[in-house]
Structure 1
Amino acid sequence: MGYVTSADGTVIAYERGGNGPAVVLVGGGIDDGTENAPLAAALAEHFTVYNYARRGRGDSGDASTVDLAREIEDLAALIAEAGGSAHVYGVSSGGALALEAAAAGCSVARLGVYEVPYNITDSDWPRQWRNYVDGLRAALAAGRRGDAVELFMRVTGASDADLAGLRAAPFWPALEAMAHTLAHDAAALGDGRPPVARLGHVRQPTLVLTGDDRPAGAAKWIAALDAAADAVAAGLPHAHRQTLKGQGHVADPHAVVPVLERFFNE
């Protein structure tokens, strides 16, 4: 475990492994880096991998306010620790953060993102997203952490039965413990749609990935991921669009590593 200090003084924890060009992994919602740990281990056969806990998660510190600029500074601190330039791979909402960081001028060499949960297919999505963000803020301000997690699950399409099962699961307390970090994810995703104007500022070659494993009854935002990825790729000056066959929202590292190895080494 290593630590870097971000620009606002927040300490960010990370794990480092492997040798070779630097790659920073950016995790998604309600994740402290654990979800990316298998990918980090597999990538470490080819790269020096930095898998960090985003602020408010794991051993990383947090601040009293939520500001996307602070999370961008966190990623910049990791890139500086990695030598001043690094490839970056972000999954889900971590992909949104990675895109925003590249657009803001972070020293990203090459960028990969996987299934960033923007939505452009549902005409009612802007209203739904605003309601979610407002409800999330209210729940967190009142200390209703379980309600905050439930709001997140509902906006991703969870049913009453799904939520009942989750609340009874042994890992539910761990989800509640990270509920406050959902505000950081919401900030990274902006208004819930691809930030087309800012994407034009991303000059790095960018690999835009999705899977094609869409289970029956999948949430609307899952079904919309392909369209969102197409829109992201269309807005980027140097995009490469690819689908990983047989992969769902959490992809098998063995499917991801060969693709990233080729792309990052081009």
Structure 2
Amino acid sequence: MQTVTSADGTSIAYEQHGEGPPLVLLHGGATRHYWKPIVPRFADDFTIVLPDRRGRGDSGDDDEYSLQKEVEDACAVIDAVDGDPGLFGHSFGGLQAIEAARSAPIESVVAYEPAYLVGEYRARADLAAEMQTRLDEGQHREAMKLHLREVLHGGDIDDFHGWLDEWPLWPACVENVENTVRMDRALEQHRLPDTLDVDVPVLLLTGTEGPSHLRESVRSVDAALPTSRLVEFDGLGHSGPTEAPDRITAAVRAFTKGEETTK
């Protein structure tokens, strides 16, 4: 385990695996362990760099929180690795990767359903407030359930509790619920600009079974980027990188080598 100090003095922990050009994997609402199915598939091609987001895993935290601080954390990790890395982010990590690419020296960006909120969905979003009500009542699990139902399933799933019983990250993810509320609140307040000034190649990934608001979002991000390509995977949901790691890593590998990306 290694650490780097972010701009506000927060310690950001990361680990490295494999050999080759650096590829930084930025997780969403979990910890760096989200990428466990992905790492061995990349280890022969890249030096994989796995940071924990602030307040999660082995990273430190600060009393003040903002999306900008999370972007600065990613930039600190980018500065710490040898060479200009590629970035691969999932969900919040996808947003983090795109925003970091606006200023940091990198080679490319891959983002699976980056967590920008757009249009009418953003205007009426109140997930953070609903979660905070549950937290104020001491119902931490119920608060996290609200987040998971909305973010992973768009609020629409027939047997949510049956799915939850089989989901490997439950209930350990509940320990991050307070950090998740602040993240959701910041995302609800953040506006996607008309143009994202990213001048490196960007691959945007989505699945046909993902939440409708994130599928709308990824298309808005595609329209805002000057150098992006959008690929949709049939049958995959918001957790596509862990649902079908072979399909996703093949697409990322092809993109980083300048080859045609398959679905």
TM-score, normalised relative to structure 2: 0.82
Using CA pairs under 8 Å that are at least 6 residues apart, name the structure with larger relative contact order, 1 or 2: 1
Deviation per CA, 1:39-74, whole angstroms, max 9, x where unpaired?
Answer: 122112111110121111111111122111211111
Partner of 2:100: 101
Query: What is the CA distance between 1:133 and its match in structure 2?
Result: 2.5
User: 2: CA distance between counterparts of 1:115 and 1:239?
Assistant: 13
Of 174, 177, 200, which aligns to 1:176? 174
2:261 alignment partner in structure 1:
none
In structure 2, the partner of 1:226 is 215
Contact 1:22/1:82 (8 A) holds in 2: yes
Letter matched to residue 140 of structure 2: R
Question: What residue number does 1:203 align with?
Answer: 199
Residues 1:35 and 1:22: Cα distance change in structure 2 (over 3 Å): same
2:27 maps to 1:27: yes
Q: Tell me the equivalent position of 2:245.
A: 253
Letter matched to residue 13 of structure 1:
A
Contact 1:2 1:13 in 2 (8 A): yes
Aligned to 1:218: none
Query: 2:255 maps to which residue?
Result: 263
Asked if 2 retains the 8 angstrom alpha-carbon contact of 1:79 and 1:85, the reply is yes
Give the drift of 1:24. 0.4
**In structure 2, what is the equivalent of residue 134 of structure 1?**
129
Could you list the runs of 5+ residues in structure 1 that have no partner in the other structure?
215-220
Q: Which residue of 2 aligns with 1:16?
A: 16
Shift in Å, 1:170? 9.1
Alpha-carbon offset, residue 206 of structure 1: 0.6
Residue deviations 1:214-254, cap 9 Å, x none? 2xxxxxx7134333222211110101111234433222221
The one-letter amino acid of 2:207's match is G
Is 1:153 aligned to residue 152 of structure 2? no
CA contact (8 A) 1:23 1:88 kept: yes
- Identical pairs, percent: 32
Q: Look up the equivalent residue of 1:153 and give its one-letter code.
A: L
- The residue that corresponds to 1:185 in the other structure is 183
Paired amino acid for 1:49: I
Alignment gaps of 5+ in structure 2: 259-263
Paired residue for 2:49? Answer: 50
How far apart are 1:186 and its partner, in Å?
2.2
**Residue-pair matches, total:** 252
- Distance in structure 2 (CA, Å) of the matches to 1:87 and 1:158: 34
Q: Which amino acid aligns with 1:238?
A: T
User: 1:260: Cα distance to partner?
Assistant: 1.2
Residue 97 to residue 141, structure 1, CA distance change in 2 (3 Å): farther
Which one-letter code corresponds to 1:134 in the other structure? A
2: CA distance, partners of 1:41 / 1:95? 21
The structure-2 alpha-carbon separation of the partners of 1:142 and 1:70, relative to structure 1 and needing over 3 Å to count, comes to farther
RMSD: 2.9
Shift of 1:139: 5.1
Distance 2:149 2:50 in 1: 28
Worse-superposed segment, 177-186 or 16-25: 177-186
Q: Does 1:240 align with 2:237?
A: no
TM-score, normalization by structure 1: 0.81
State the Cα deviation string for residues 115-172 of structure 1 (Å, max 9, x = none): 2244547x3x23431x223344555577653343133134341669635974899965
For 1:22 and 1:4, the matched residues in 2 are separated by 16
Q: Is the CA contact (8 Å cut-off) linking 1:96 and 1:188 kept in structure 2?
A: no
C-alpha contact 2:122 2:188 (8 A) present in aligned 1: no
